[in-house]
Every structure is written in C-alpha cells, then in structure tokens.
C-alpha cells in the first residue's frame, strides 16, 4: 500500500499528488487571469471573467487546502456565513455610496 | 507500517457537546470574522476608487507582472503548507520541517515583494516629454499641463504614492498593509511551530492540531490575496472599472 493511498484512506484528505495538481491548476488560472487582463478587446466582459476565475481559485483553496470539502459541514457554515456577510457589506456600501449609478 | 500511521482528523468525535474540536471551531469563527474585516477594507477601497483628486493613481504605479510573481509565490506557499501538514500526519518529521521552512521562506519572499512594491510606489517618479508626450494617463496629463506650460523640454514629478497622498494611497496601503501584517504573523507562527517540532512530544502525528490551525490561517491569508489581486490590482488598472 502506498503512503499516499494510506493517507487518503485513513484521513479522507487528498494525497500529496492531488495537492500538487491543485497548485498547478491555481497557477494556470492565475496565468490565464494575467493573460486575459491584456486582451483589451474583451472590454467590460473582462470583469465577470476575472471575477469568476478568482472565485474558482478561492473555492479550490477553501475546499481542498483548507479541507472544507472533507471536514464537518459546521465549519463550512461558519466560514461561509462570514464570507456572505462580508459580500453583503461590500455590496451595500457600494450601493450606499452610489458606485453602481 | 509505522510510517503510514494515520493521524486523527481534528474536528469530529472530540468528546465535546457538539462533537467538534472547540479550538478548531474557534479558528473557523475567527476566519469568518476576518472575512468581514477584509470585506470592510475591500469595500472602503472600492467606494473611494476613482475619487482621488490627484495622482498617482493605480494605472500609474501598479506593475502587474511583478505582482503576478508575488501571487504565484503565495499560492506555492499554500501548497507547501498543505504538504507540511500531510507529511506530519504520515509521521515524516523531516519532510514536515522541510515544507515548513519552504513555506516560511515563500511567505518572507512575498513580504519582500510587498516591501519592494511599497518602496517603489513611495518613490514613484514620473517624467513627461513636453515635445512628444505620447499617450498620457490622467496624472501624467496633469504633470504635462503644469510643467510644460513654461516651455520646458521635460516635466517631472517626484511626488510618489504615500498613505497621505490621496484616497487611493490611504485605502490601498491600509488594505494591503493589513494583509502583509497577517502574512508576517503567519511566518512567525510557522517558525514557532518549526522550533517546537524539535521539542520531543510537542508536535507529533497524533498532536497535529496546532499545525492544522496554523495551516488554516495560512490558507486564509492566501484566499484573501486571491481576492485582492483581482479586485485591487487587475480591476484597478482596467480603465472601465
């Protein structure tokens, strides 16, 4: 039995190889983000694209590196509650100061 | 096979009323509250975006390739951190120490990039050719209008971007400065754990909660930077934002 397999069986956490693959994906997305940034013809489409890529990176780190995918759901709820509240603070402050208008 | 010893997953069956480890729950509560802290700082930055009366502005000072490299370093430090934890749970203490050192080094490298960036922003120097100015930013246009009116060949400004320069400077340094402080605290935490690992019985595959909590904190610092890099740096230089 390999050490990686053993680790996965016993703890439910990803293996070292899977952590490395996630790191490669994260770096690739960052490279794509920087590449997209220089594509001027995208215009305002750049904002939702970059936002989506950033959210994907955020989710990957939270789910796999922070083990939220494998830990008890209550930890996820506690973190997501803070995140949603932060998103609401940002949205309402922008609304209050007329940034959208 | 002793090397494949299974470490306990902290967070479940801890004999508490919730069945969850209280220290780990507290860590998640702290991270949730830190989300709100950084959310407020990001909101403040966005609210004041484009409201600075004078430059330098983001487009004048940001160097996206340099910041991309520092982002890459921080992402790699997260991988290194998770490999340190993985090595510890497999009773591979040598691997644990190597990955912890590499995580701390990459964290310090990120801080080095930030110091370089802050220093270059504070000493930002702009020189505009009055004869062939080319395409100018708003700030460069301002320097052109003020400096070239008297018939000079060049106009320049050594103003730089400091926290007191304009609203952009204030909100930018506050946000990224607090993030840098978090990273610095994380480095101290990691190095403390590394030193403790040499003390017998303090950090073992069975007693890995201290490392688990430090890892959560370190990854959180990473995800905050993922947001800052996109919202502050990439959106900051984008003319339509």
Helix (H, G, I), strand (E, B) or coil at A81: helix
**Digit-coded pLDDT (tens) for B82-108:** 999 999 999 999 999 999 999 999 999
Where do the CATH 1.20.120.80 domains begin and end in chain B?
14-124+160-237
| CA atoms of A11 and B39, how far apart (whole Å) | 33
Write the CA distances from A99 to A16, A48, A95, B44, B119, integer angstroms: 44, 17, 6, 11, 30
Block residue for tokens 């004048």: B60
3-state SS assignment for residue B207: coil
Answer yes or no: do A65 and B81 touch at CB < 8 A: yes
Domain residue ranges of chain A, discontinuous segments joined by +: 3-70, 71-101
* CA distance to A14, A17, B39, B91, per residue, from A20 (Å): 10, 5, 29, 20
**Predicted confidence (pLDDT) at residue A10 exceeds the cutoff of 70:** no
Asked if B6 lies within 8 A of A11 by C-beta distance, the reply is yes
CA atoms within 13 A on the CB side of B18: 14
Q: Chain B contacts of A57, Cβ < 8 Å? A: 223, 226
Q: Which of B87, B226, B232, B239 to mutate to test the interface with A (most CBs of A within 10 A)?
A: B226
Please tell me the distance from the alpha carbon of residue B100 to that of residue B85, in angstroms, as a whole number: 9
CATH code assigned to B14-124+160-237: 1.20.120.80
DSSP conformation letters of B51-75: --SSS--HHHH--HHHHHHHHHHHH
Within a 13 Å sphere around the CA of B167, how many CA atoms are in the beta-carbon half? Answer: 12
Contact B35 A85 (CB under 8 A): yes
- The answer for B 169-228 residues in CB contact with A (under 8 A) is 215-216, 219-220, 222-223, 226-227
CB < 8 Å from A in window 74-113 of B: 75-76, 78-79, 81-83, 86, 89-90
- Report chain B residues whose CB lies below 8 A from the CB of A62: 219, 223
| pLDDT band per the 50, 70, 90 thresholds, residue A9 | very low
Distance CA(B173)–CA(B61), nearest Å, equals: 13
Selecting from B44, B86, B229 the residue whose C-beta is nearest the C-beta of A7 gives B86
CA–CA gap between residue A3 and residue B171 (Å, rounded):
47
Beta strands in chain B (DSSP E): 126-129, 154-157
pLDDT, greater one: B145 or A71: A71
Residues A41-73 have pLDDT tens digits of 888 888 889 989 999 999 999 999 999 998 899
Name the band, by pLDDT with cuts 50, 70 and 90, for residue B60: confident
- Between residues B197 and B131, which one has the greater pLDDT? B197
pLDDT over 50 at B205, yes or no: yes
Distance of residue A66 Cα from the nearest chain B Cα, in angstroms: 6
């Amino acid at each position: 039995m390999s050490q990686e397999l053993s680790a996965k069986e016993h703890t439910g956490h990803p293996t070292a190889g899977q952590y490395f693959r996630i790191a490669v994906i994260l770096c690739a997305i960052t490279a794509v983000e920087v590449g997209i940034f220089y594509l001027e013809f995208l215009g305002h489409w750049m904002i939702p694209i970059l936002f989506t890529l950033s959210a994907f990176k955020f989710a990957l780190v939270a789910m796999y590196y922070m083990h939220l995918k494998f830990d008890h759901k209550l930890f996820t709820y506690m973190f997501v509650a803070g995140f949603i509240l932060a998103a609401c603070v940002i949205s309402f402050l922008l609304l209050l100061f007329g940034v959208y208008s | 096979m002793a090397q494949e010893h299974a470490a306990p997953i902290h967070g479940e069956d801890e004999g508490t009323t919730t069945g969850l480890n209280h220290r780990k729950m507290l860590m998640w509560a702290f991270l949730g509250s830190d989300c709100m802290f950084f959310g407020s700082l990001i909101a403040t930055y966005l609210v004041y975006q484009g409201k600075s009366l004078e430059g330098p502005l983001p487009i004048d000072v940001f160097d996206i390739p340099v910041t991309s490299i520092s982002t890459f370093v921080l992402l790699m430090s997260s991988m290194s951190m998770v490999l340190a934890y993985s090595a510890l749970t497999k009773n591979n203490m040598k691997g644990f120490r190597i990955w912890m050192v590499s995580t701390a080094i990459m964290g310090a490298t990120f801080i080095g990039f930030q110091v370089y960036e802050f220093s270059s922003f504070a000493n930002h120097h702009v020189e505009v050719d009055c004869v062939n100015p080319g395409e100018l930013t708003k700030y460069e246009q301002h320097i052109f209008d003020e400096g070239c009116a008297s018939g000079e060949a060049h106009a320049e400004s050594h103003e730089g971007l400091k926290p007191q320069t304009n609203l952009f400077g204030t909100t930018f340094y506050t946000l990224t400065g607090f993030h840098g402080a978090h990273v610095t605290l994380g480095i101290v935490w990691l190095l403390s754990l590394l030193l403790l690992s040499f003390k017998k019985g303090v950090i073992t595959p069975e007693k890995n909660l201290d490392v688990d909590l430090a890892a959560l904190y370190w990854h959180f610092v990473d995800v905050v930077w993922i947001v800052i890099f996109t919202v502050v740096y990439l959106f900051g230089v984008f003319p339509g934002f």
